């Protein structure tokens, strides 16, 4: 069993003269929570899009869940989950209908869907609300549901694009407990965030500066290396080096 | 991966069903429009109030007045004085006044002997509404001259719509308008909504092919349009008594072609618009306006300035409305309007091609 789930070598993406992602390389192991940080415009989103099979690299190579990012984008899509802060579930559908839709998208059978959805809702202690319209739920619940739905088809990697925007610290804490649980059961988590306290929760953190990987290590070692107390300071030191504007 | 397509169609149907207000509007608009155009708004002119000025009430004049008051288009409001004419018209008490000359009887008698005479009847009409003024004059001429001057050169027969019902003219126009509204406008708004909400991004990361997402969106709107189509045809036939002698099959076939074309237009709009408001505006201004103005719905194409006549050729509704009119009212079969069908088919293929290509280009 291969324990490297995401492997990236010299990955580069250019748009005309502009190099959005410049020669980045890293590996992510199974069950890791990999924090992917960077200021706006540092190339985070572009890199993530390539890993999700949404755009093709200009040069370099990479594989996600054992599939090549250059040629097997469609296969990658089947084996990953994705959640973004901008959208969490359809408000005019019930919890159950949302789950059924996403299970259906990944080609799960009716029986599997029933079993998995019941299991996930029971874990969340939310089974009684299965027929509630998502629109009437608080934001924190929507995001938690959004996360479990992103994992409904048991993907190998889940990409979380700033998943906790706009929620209070307590809900964020609960959200991270869900992430930990998923990681413990072997799902790899690839998460971008602007909250530096969340960066501390990650197993390893990569900080992008001007399209390159500026630093990559565990939060503890990063803090030691830069001789500071918090990830926030590490991030500031690195971000100051950036030459690109917003 | 057939399952995912069905889940999508289900999802789209739920979106539509949950949005009760929109659903109601879509279902009601055609009915309201049909009833409005069929009964309330009509270019037929009824109950024209007419007064008569006559120097003396001779037999001939009494005959003429009798004919007018018996006609259902006119209401006879009595004899008035010469001095009252202006006042009566100004106060809207009457909308037309007929003035008989004093030698009316003598001239009628001469005319019946075949001797040409000069006009002896003056008709004064309130022309603040040009349409009804024109119609009133025409009716009056018909009634008064038709009887008096037997040697009329014209013998008119109204084919296809002998009662000149305006509903006949409007039904195909409403159909041309409604399907653009339901298919193009609603589809484009619903696609753009996904972009705006960010859900399109989530769907694109999933293994569903983008084309499938789009087609899954179109299916429920197509189904609604079919229901609307059948409603309109039923209303037209049973309520407005439009003949449809050309066969319902032909009308259905060309309507379905037009539905697909409208869906393609909606997709095209969705690739251009970034927000729902913009999609709505484009649909209303760029799609609906030309249909109102340039498709022959309100104004006959022959009456348009040359430039707009040329422009009207690229308005799909023009070809559709024309074909439906021929089939519904003139009783032509679909083979008689093959040119319209071919043009619509060509437009559909071109639009689908362009919009699918634009849609795919946008993704990368």
Q: Which residue of B has its CA nearest to A88?
A: B199
Tell me whether A58 touches chain B (CB under 8 Å): no
Sign of CA dihedral A13, A18, A23, A26: negative
Q: Is A35 on the interface with B (CB under 8 A)?
A: no
Listed ranges A4-8, B97-101, B206-210; the one with the highest mean pLDDT: A4-8
If phi > 0 it is left, if psi is from -120 to 50 it is alpha, else beta; for residue B203 that is alpha
**Chain A partners of B11 at a C-beta cutoff of 8 Å?**
90, 93, 97, 101
Contact between chains at B206 and A100 (C-beta distance less than 8 A):
no
Higher pLDDT, B133 or B220: B220
Closest residue in chain A to residue B197, using alpha carbons only: A87
- What is the per-residue pLDDT for B106? 81
Domains of chain B: which residue ranges? 2-41+165-363, 48-148
Distance, in angstroms, between A209 CA and closest chain B CA? 24
For A201-225, what is each residue's pLDDT tens digit? Answer: 999 999 998 889 988 999 999 999 9
- Give the C-alpha separation, B358 to B363, whole Å: 9
Q: What is the pLDDT of residue A32?
A: 94
| pLDDT attached to residue B64 | 82
The answer to the question of residue A10 being in a domain is: no
Q: What is the pLDDT of residues B13-56, one digit of tens each?
A: 999 999 888 888 888 888 888 888 777 666 667 788 888 888 88
pLDDT: which is higher, B363 or A35:
A35
Distance from the A11 Cα atom to the nearest Cα atom in chain B, whole angstroms: 18
Residue B150 banded pLDDT, cuts 50, 70, 90? very low
Mean pLDDT across chain B? 84
Nearest to A77 among B7, B18, B205 (CB): B205
Contacts of A109 in chain B (CB under 8 A): 3
Q: Calculate Rg over the CA atoms of chain A.
A: 18
Higher-confidence position of B12 and B117:
B12
A53 shares contact with chain B (CB less than 8 Å): yes
Q: Can you list the residues of chain A whose pLDDT is less than 70?
A: 1-2, 245-246
Residues 6+ apart with CB under 8 A from B162: none
For residue A87, list chain B residues with Cβ-Cβ distance below 8 A. 197-199, 201-202
Nearest to A82 by CA among B191, B213, B198: B198
Structure tokens at A108: 């799960």
* Structure tokens that stand for A87 in this block: 């959208």
Nearest residue, CB atoms, A78 vs list B3, B207, B364: B207
3-state secondary structure of A29: strand
Q: Compute the nearest-CA separation of A228 from chain B (Å).
A: 37
Picking from A8, A35, A24, the residue whose alpha carbon sits closest to that of residue A179 is A35
- From the number of C-beta atoms within 10 Å of its C-beta (0-12, 13-18, 19+), residue B27 rates as middle
Q: Which residue in B8, B18, B203 is closest to A92 by CB distance? A: B18
B256–chain A nearest CA distance, Å: 29
User: Closest Cα of chain A to B9: distance in Å?
Assistant: 10
- The pLDDT of residue B151: 47
Task: Render B79-129 in DSSP notation, one character per residue.
Answer: E--GGGHHHHHHTTS-SEEEEE-TTHHHHHHHHHTT------EEEEE-TTS
Per the structure, the count of domains in chain A is 1
Percent of chain B exceeding pLDDT 90 equals: 20
Got the DSSP string for B224-242? HHHHHHHHHHHIIIIIS--
A76 touches chain B (CB under 8 A): no
Q: How confident is the model at residue B326 (pLDDT cuts 50, 70, 90)?
A: confident
What's the start-to-end Cα distance of chain A, in Å? 42
Q: A177: domain CATH number?
A: 3.40.50.300
Please state, as a whole number, how many other Cβ atoms lie within 10 Å of the Cβ of residue B142.
14
Model pLDDT, residue B43: 60
CATH number of B48-148: 3.40.1710.10
Chain A residues with CB-CB distance to B193 below 8 A: none
Token pair listed for B60: 């001939």
For residues B194-216, average pLDDT: 87
The residue-averaged pLDDT of B126-136 equals 80
User: Does some domain include residue A186?
Assistant: yes
- Residues of chain A contacting residue B21, judged by C-beta atoms under 8 Å apart: none
- Helix/strand/coil for A42: coil
Token representation of residue A79: 């084996």
> Which of B11, B15, B207 lies nearest to residue A77, judging by beta carbons?
B207
Domain that holds residue A234: 37-47+78-240
Q: Residues in chain B whose beta carbon is closer than 8 A to a beta carbon of chain A?
A: 1, 3-4, 6-8, 10-11, 14-15, 18-19, 197-199, 201-208, 364
Tokens of A75: 């296969």
Tell me the β-bridge partners of A62: A8
CA of A203 vs chain B CAs: smallest distance (Å): 25
Q: pLDDT tens digits for B239-281? A: 888 878 777 889 999 999 999 999 999 999 999 998 999 999 9
Q: Are A34 and A204 in contact (CB under 8 A)?
A: yes
Residue B364 banded pLDDT, cuts 50, 70, 90: low
**Shortest CA distance from A75: residue in chain B:** B207
Phi-psi category of residue B165: left, alpha or beta, with phi > 0 → left and psi -120 to 50 → alpha: beta
Residue B228's CB is within 10 A of a number of other CB atoms, namely 23
Q: What is the pLDDT of residues A133-174, one digit of tens each?
A: 999 999 888 999 999 999 999 999 999 998 888 888 888 899
Give yes or no for a contact between B191 and B273, defined as CB atoms under 8 angstroms apart: no
In angstroms, the separation between the Cα of residue B262 and the nearest Cα of chain A is 26
ipTM of the complex: 0.84
Distance of CA A83 to the CA centre of its chain: 7
B27: CB partners within 8 A, 6+ apart: B224, B227, B228, B231
């Amino acid at each position: 069993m291969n324990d490297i789930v995401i492997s990236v070598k010299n990955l580069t993406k250019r748009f005309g003269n502009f190099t959005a992602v410049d020669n980045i390389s890293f590996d992510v192991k199974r069950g890791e929570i990999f924090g992917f940080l960077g200021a706006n415009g540092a190339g985070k989103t572009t890199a993530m899009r390539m890993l999700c099979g949404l755009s093709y690299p200009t040069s370099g190579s990479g594989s996600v869940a054992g599939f090549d990012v250059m040629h097997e984008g469609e296969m990658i899509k089947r084996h990953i989950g994705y959640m973004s802060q901008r959208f969490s579930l359809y408000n005019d559908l019930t919890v159950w209908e949302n789950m059924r839709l996403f299970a259906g998208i990944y080609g799960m059978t009716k029986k599997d869907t029933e079993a998995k959805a019941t299991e996930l809702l029971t874990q969340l202690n939310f089974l009684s609300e299965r027929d509630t319209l998502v629109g009437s739920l608080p934001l924190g619940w929507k995001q938690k549901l959004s996360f479990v739905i992103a994992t409904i088809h048991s993907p190998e990697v889940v990409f979380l694009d700033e998943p906790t925007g706009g929620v209070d610290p307590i809900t964020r804490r609960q959200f991270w407990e869900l992430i930990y649980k998923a990681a413990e059961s072997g799902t790899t988590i690839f998460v971008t965030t602007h909250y530096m306290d969340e960066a501390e929760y990650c197993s390893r953190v990569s900080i992008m500066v001007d399209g390159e990987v500026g630093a990559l290590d565990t939060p503890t070692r990063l803090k030691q290396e830069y001789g500071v107390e918090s990830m926030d300071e590490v991030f500031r030191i690195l971000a100051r080096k950036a030459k690109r504007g917003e | 991966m057939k399952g995912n397509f069905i889940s999508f169609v289900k999802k789209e149907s739920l979106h539509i069903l949950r949005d009760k207000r929109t659903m109601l509007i879509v279902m009601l608009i055609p009915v309201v429009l049909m009833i409005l155009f069929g009964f309330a708004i009509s270019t037929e002119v009824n109950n024209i109030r007419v007064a008569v000025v006559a120097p003396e009430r001779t037999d001939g004049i009494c005959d003429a007045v009798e004919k007018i008051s018996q006609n259902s288009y006119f209401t006879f409001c009595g004899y008035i004085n010469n001095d009252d004419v202006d006042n009566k018209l100004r106060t809207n008490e009457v909308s037309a006044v007929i003035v008989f000359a004093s030698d009316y009887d003598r001239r009628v008698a001469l005319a019946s002997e075949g001797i040409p005479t000069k006009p002896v009847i003056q008709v004064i009409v309130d022309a603040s509404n040009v349409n009804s003024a024109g119609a009133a004059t025409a009716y009056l001429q018909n009634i008064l001259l038709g009887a008096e001057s037997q040697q009329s050169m014209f013998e008119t027969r109204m084919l296809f719509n002998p009662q000149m019902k305006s509903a006949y003219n409007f039904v195909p126009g409403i159909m041309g308008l409604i399907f653009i509204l339901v298919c193009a406008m609603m589809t484009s708004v619903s696609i753009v909504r996904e972009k705006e909400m960010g859900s399109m991004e989530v769907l694109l990361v999933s293994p569903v092919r983008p084309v499938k997402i789009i087609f899954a969106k179109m299916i429920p709107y197509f189904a609604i349009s079919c229901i609307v189509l059948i409603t309109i045809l039923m209303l037209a036939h049973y309520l407005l008594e439009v003949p449809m002698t050309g066969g319902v099959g032909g009308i259905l076939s060309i309507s379905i072609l037009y539905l697909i074309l409208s869906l393609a237009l909606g997709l095209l709009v969705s690739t251009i618009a970034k927000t729902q408001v913009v999609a709505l505006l484009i649909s209303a201004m760029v799609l609906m306006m030309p249909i109102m103005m340039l498709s022959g719905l309100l104004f006959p194409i022959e009456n348009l300035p040359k430039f707009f006549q040329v422009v009207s050729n690229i308005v799909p509704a023009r070809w559709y409305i024309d074909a439906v009119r021929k089939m519904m009212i003139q009783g032509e079969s679909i083979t008689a309007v093959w040119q319209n069908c071919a043009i619509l088919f060509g437009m559909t293929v071109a639009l689908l091609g362009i919009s699918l290509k634009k849609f795919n280009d946008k993704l990368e």
